[in-house]
Structure 1
């Protein structure tokens, strides 16, 4: 069997080490002993974009914010699902991940970062969410293991009641807030509804129709002004 090779590593602000590994044409991004993503498992990340684009419909100049670059699966699927006039901003907190995308994993990314519709923001996606009232038609989050954060404690703020209210404000009416998770979370679904969203839970598989681990995607919609969906409890 071909052995894994460590291509690069970066120390995160909390002291953990993020590593890029390769085995032949396969890539893996590891945090400690946990594999965060693998280039052979793209199904649920692609579903995050496919489902979101499907809910958006035919908006000619859709504005989408993607939190977390990862291996680019969500970004590539979003580019395929949106029109030529769309604008996609990808927020990635770790500069090395962007460097890996343009370096060792350039074949995996297949030039998607050079698409004229794409802007890469090196920084916290939470800053863009909090700073943009009604700025986005869709916000897609794949920045951690889900609402139960694994990689960075600071991500918890994105999934808190205050963070979800900020996401609601950041969306245009009818906008979609989509969240990837490695597992279901009933408490998170309740917080989404309490923040004013209409919520749909969609189970997915890590390798799409070929199976793999079970994951969860939340599709949360901000209502149009004449629709009532806010829960104050």
Structure 2
């Protein structure tokens, strides 16, 4: 098999549409409703998402972390590999993706992290979770879309608007950090974060081989 050979490993229909796991050479990729989400070829973006949040929490002992979106598992694996994190909760709405990690080909990335006693997988929708769950976290690292301006489903757009950002603000402990991955910068989203009460709003770039850099949008809930 060459690097360009693509094979469908599994295709499932779920409550939010179609989700597909494909192999491309030695790597795997996830497609949701025909939209490419991520693959196992790199992982720099996912690691920066976690590292940027932890750096903002310097000096806070065993901070708790909520990861929005299990994806191919890079964010979870990177967080669990760092002993400084406390509780690590991952919200994933697609049962198929959870299964691909528990007993499928993505377990090679996330297996050790899933066995870590700090880790819990929550099979639920992220938007509903942040709006209704009373638990608070030191960091929210969200990577469920290709960014605020490029969502996988129309319903996800609410996460990046006033109500969704207010819910994220409420789920953070004072001084907590919100980190949102995006395939491109969004000045409008930065403004929305400030309007929702976040401070120290900034955007960190992740260099990519071609095109516009990936970014992580960051904002802090005031102490």
The TM-score, its normalising length taken from structure 1, stands at 0.86
Count of matched residue pairs? 218
Give the 3-state SS of the residue equivalent to 1:59 in structure 2: coil
CA contact (8 A) 2:27 2:39 kept: yes
Distance 2:14 2:144 in 1: 14
Deviations 1:9-67 (A, max 9, x none): 1124354x221111342111123554211101211111000111111113323111110
Name the counterpart of 1:228. Answer: none
Distance 1:201 1:134 in 2: 27
CA contact (8 A) 2:68 2:141 kept: yes
Name the counterpart of 1:127. Answer: 128
Distance 2:81 2:210 in 1: 24
- Greater mean alpha carbon deviation, residues 181-190 or residues 109-118: 109-118
Name the counterpart of 1:41. Answer: 42
Give the 3-state SS of the residue equivalent to 1:44 in structure 2: helix
Gaps of 5+ in 2: none
Q: 1:66 to 1:29 in 2, by over 3 A?
A: same
* TM-aligned CA deviation for residue 82 of structure 1: 4.5
- Greater mean alpha carbon deviation, residues 24-33 or residues 41-50: 24-33
The TM-score, its normalising length taken from structure 2, stands at 0.90
Distance 1:113 1:149 in 2: 29
CA contact (8 A) 2:68 2:90 kept: yes
Matched, 1:99 2:99: yes
Name the counterpart of 1:230. Answer: none
Q: 1:135 to 1:33 in 2, by over 3 A?
A: closer
Gaps of 5+ in 1: 225-233
1:2-21 aligned within 5 A = 2=2, 3-15=5-17, 17-21=18-22
What is the RMSD computed on CA atoms of the aligned residues? 1.9
CA contact (8 A) 1:89 1:118 kept: yes
